[in-house]
Amino acid sequence: MPAREHLLKIGVSGIRGVVGEFLTPALACAFAEAFGTYVGGGRVVVGRDTRSSGPMLQHAVQCGLLATGCDVVDVGVLPTPTIQVYVAATGARGGIALTASHNPPEYNALKLFNAQGLFFNNYERGELIDLYHQSAFRRASNEEIGRIAEDYQRAPEMHIARVLRHVDAGKIRARRFRVAVDGVNGASSLMTPRFLGDDLNCEVEAIFCDPAKPFPRVAEPRPDTLGELAALVRRTGADAGFAHDPDGDRLAVCDELGRVLDNDDVLALVVDAALERLPGDVVVHLTTSSVIDDIALKHGCRVHRTAVGEANVVETMQAVKAVIGGEGSNGGIIFPPVHLCRDSYTGMAFLLDLMCGTGKRISELHAGLPQYWRRHGTIRCGHGMLAAVMTGLEEAFPEALDSDRLDGLKLMLPDAWVHVRTSNTEPIIRLAVESKAETRTGELYDRLARFCAGEGETQGEQTRCFS
C-alpha cells in the first residue's frame, strides 16, 4: 500500500484523491468551509462530472458552503470549462467543480475557481490552504445561512455562444460534417452531441454518451484508449472523431482514416489556425512538443513555457497577453476570447472551421505539420525520489546543452529533449522524450527509463510516435 500522503494530493487545480479513506465527505466539507470563508460569502457555483462519488461529495461541499454563509448555485453535471465560463459570466464569488478529470473512477477532486472562473493562483491557493489547516472558518448564524438554487440551462448556452462567435458557424453548418464522438459517459456526454448536432449541423455518431453509466474505458483520452472511436470513424465514414475525458476539458482527435492524432499535434493545428487570424504570443508548458515552436516561428511569434498545470499556463498567458496557449501533452486548448481555461469545445469548433477554410481533411492538415517523435512513461515514486533523480540526471546526459528546473528537470540535447517531473495529480514521476527521429527517441527514452528505474518502479509506458 502506497504511503497515505500519496493518495491525497493538493496541487495546482485543487485537492484530489481516492474516495473513501482519503478523500472523504468530511474533508470535502472542510475544504468547502475554507473556500466559503476565503471568498467571503455570496454566490458560489457548484457542478460535477458523472462519477458515482459525485453526488455524495457535492452534498458535503454544499453543506460546507452554506455553513459559511454562501449561497450555492447548482449547475448540475457539466464540463469543467462550461462551469468556469458560467462562474465568470454571472459574477459569482467563485466555483467548485467536483471532478478528477482524467484520473480513474475511484478518484475524485475539488477543482477550485476564483471569481474570474480561473484556477486559484499560487497566492490564493496558499491562503486557502492556510485557512483549511487552521480551521479558521466563518460560522454563519441561523439567519445568515444561505440557499441552494438550481440553474441547469444557462451555462451551456453561455459557453456555446462564446465559442460560435469565433468560427464561421454558417460554413460549418453548410458542410454537414459527419462526426464521431466518444464521451466516456462523462460530463460532456449530452452537451457535445447537442453542440455538434444542433449548433453546428453535424451528423453525429456517438458512443459512450450515457452519463448514467460508468466509464467504459481508461478515462484519459489517448491513442491507446480510443480503439472504439477509431473503429466507429472507419465504420461510419466520419470526417473526424472527437473524444473527451470525464470532465470535458481535454480533447483527443481521430482523423477520417481512423488514426488518433497525438495531442500535441492537435494543439499545433489549433495554434496555427489562431495565429493565422491574430498573431501574438503563445504559452505552453515544458512537456509540450517543439512543433509549437515551429508553428509560432512560421508566424513570427514568440513561445513562452511554464510548469505543467493549467493554472501555470493561464497565469503566464495573462502576463504576456497571449493569443492562445495550452498543454499539448494532455489535449488542453486555451483560447482567451472564449475563456482562459482548457476547452475542448473551442478545439472542436476550430478544427471544423479549419477544415472548411482550407478544404483539407484532418489527415491532410496533420501531414502538413513538422515531424516529431515522442515517448511518455511513468515511474512509481517514493518520498523525495525526484530529488535523487534530478541530482544524477545531468551527469547521465552530459551532452545536454541547457537545462530547465522550472518543473522537475528538462534537458535540451543537440537534437532532442528529455523531461522528468512529478505528476500534479498522481503519485508518479512522468518521463517525456522528443526528437525528430524515431530511433533516436526510442534510444533516449530507454536510456532515461533505465536511469530512473534505479530509483523506482517503471510503469507501463505510453508511447506515441507521430509526425
Please, where are the H alpha helices in 182-262? 191-194, 227-236
Q: How far is CA 278 from CA 158, 168, 285, 291, in A?
A: 23, 15, 21, 19
CA–CA dist 187, 6 (Å, integer): 26
Per DSSP (E only), the strands in 309-401 are 324-327, 332-335, 339-342, 372-380
Taking alpha carbons only, the member of 286, 396, 338, 331 closest to residue 84 is 338
CA–CA dist 5, 450 (Å, integer): 27
Concerning whether 135 is annotated as a catalytic residue, the answer is no
Q: How far is CA 423 from CA 303, 307, 427, in A?
A: 23, 11, 7
Locate cell 460534417: which residue? 177
Q: Which amino acid is located at 399 in the chain?
A: E
Question: Exactly one of 13, 52, 53, 101 is catalytic; which is it?
Answer: 101
CA–CA dist 30, 135 (Å, integer): 8
Locate cell 496541487: which residue? 11
Measured CA angle at 201 (ends 200, 206), to 5 deg: 95
Residue 459 C-beta-side C-alpha neighbours within 13 Å: 13
Q: Three-state DSSP class for 454?
A: coil
The residues, ordered by sequence, that sit 6+ positions from 33 with a Cβ below 8 Å of its Cβ are 64, 65, 67, 68, 137, 138
Q: Is 87:164 a contact under the CB 8 Å cutoff?
A: no
The residues, ordered by sequence, that sit 6+ positions from 1 with a Cβ below 8 Å of its Cβ are none
Q: The C-alpha cell of 285 is what?
A: 508548458
**Which residues are tagged catalytic?**
101
